[in-house]
Chains A and B, each alone.
Chain A
């Protein structure tokens, strides 16, 4: 091991990891918005909406993210005739992909809430939307935080896949360094170490948020 080399490249890798984090945060943010909409469509009881949401989830969970990135960055621009920007393609791909997983997380969260909650809200004259917004979703969201944390971590790792469209995040930067200095072990262990630091930090943060939210009441209990 060339420790001096590792010390040399770590700052550059850390810098690249900022883009990795940005990609992931942008991706999960889009994913939460899309996932919320898709999960509500799925449980709306309106057949068309539900079918569309299911098709979306099935497609993006049933095909590799790598292929989805290629479609968004290479295939769609050919069909619709525009010039893609790698980083935008990357964020969109991560966002739409995680949206499918988040949709299932929220759906499970919503369905875990006692049916009596919706009935009580509706019996007071609230609309379905009001009941969702004020009663069901706040409780479902809380139940969803641990799986959302897992999804965040999974997405951070998956963001390495955007290296195939040359977004200069952590993975790509590792490859670029490889091209100049063929110190395989030093480079890839360093890259792995930084991913590990990022994912562990997120895990700790999620844990903290989870515990904070438990103060006052314990979630979906209804008796």
Chain B
């Protein structure tokens, strides 16, 4: 589903990604863990080209993401993204936040978009908040609306960029529950996270990234219980 070959990303002189290779299969849930500044968010943001890769190749669903001929807007329609700070549109209600992209990008009618939005709000458990503006919602509720907004495009892949890092501890669970449901339904997911519990329970594969390299990857059991790389073990011992 996602193939990454020799991905490099530099910000000026600073090399953040130093030759990443990976292959993510359909319906796979891949969790990316690593210290801050290791390049994990940059990697994720390269996948839908919110960051422009310096070099390398990315292919999603057999379509090259990198390259001059690519219409990046078409690829982004298939790749949903959830941000650390939600980034809901503050001038629109929860329902309108979800309806906008299906209407303007997918050219759905208002009625169809409304049906999609209602269905997704129900899925994330916020039907009663349909007419609320983002600032009237808690962080956890906002993030659930943001997930619904991304899902409204019916993407084939979902990218999560530390989706619970900006949340109060007591609402982290409600967001993780929604993500878990998605995983069970077979969504292909790439999740940058500090939630080791989630990675362990829901992840099919865990990748440890440090200093711009994918240092180690494996099943949650292999990473959390039998990490081979010393730096992986050092990182895990600090956070577990």
The reply to whether B90 and A124 form a contact with Cβ atoms under 8 Å apart is no
A117, A121, A124, A217: residue with the most chain B Cβ atoms closer than 10 Å: A124
Known: A119-B50, A223-B166. A126 touches B89 (CB 8 A): no
Residues of A within 8 A of B88 (CB): 120, 222
Residues of B within 8 A of A222 (CB): 85-88, 90, 134
Q: In the assembly, what is the distance between CA of A216 and CA of B135, in Å?
A: 9
Query: Does any Cβ of A come within 8 Å of B100's Cβ?
Result: yes
The reply to whether B89 and A135 form a contact with Cβ atoms under 8 Å apart is yes
Residues of A within 8 A of B105 (CB): 124-126, 130
Partner of B90, one of A122, A126, A139: A139
The reply to whether A217 and B91 form a contact with Cβ atoms under 8 Å apart is yes
Q: Which of B12-20, B69-77, B207-215, B232-240 contacts A (4 or more CB under 8 A)?
A: B69-77
Q: Shortest CB–CB separation between residue B45 and chain A, in angstroms? A: 8
Q: Give how many A residues have a beta carbon under 8 Å from the other chain's beta carbons.
A: 26
Instruction: Map CB proximity to A onto B53-94 as digits: 1 under 8 Å, 0 otherwise.
Output: 000000000000000000001101101110101111111000
Known: A134-B100, A142-B91. A123 touches B86 (CB 8 A): no
Partner of B87, one of A116, A127, A142, A217: A116
The reply to whether A116 and B77 form a contact with Cβ atoms under 8 Å apart is no
Q: Give how many B residues have a beta carbon under 8 Å from the other chain's beta carbons.
A: 30
Known: A130-B105, A219-B90. A125 touches B73 (CB 8 A): yes
Q: In the assembly, what is the distance between CA of A94 and CA of B38, in Å?
A: 54
Known: A134-B100, A222-B90, A223-B85. A217 touches B134 (CB 8 A): yes
Q: In the assembly, what is the distance between CA of A123 and CA of B87, in Å?
A: 11
Q: Shortest CB–CB separation between residue A154 and chain B, in angstroms? A: 28
The reply to whether A123 and B85 form a contact with Cβ atoms under 8 Å apart is no
Q: Shortest CB–CB separation between residue B64 and chain A, in angstroms? A: 17
Known: A123-B80, A222-B90. 4 other contacts (CB 8 A): A119-B50, A123-B50, A126-B105, A222-B134
12 contacts between A and B (CB under 8 A): A116-B87, A117-B87, A120-B149, A124-B76, A124-B77, A124-B150, A134-B100, A217-B133, A217-B134, A221-B90, A222-B85, A222-B88
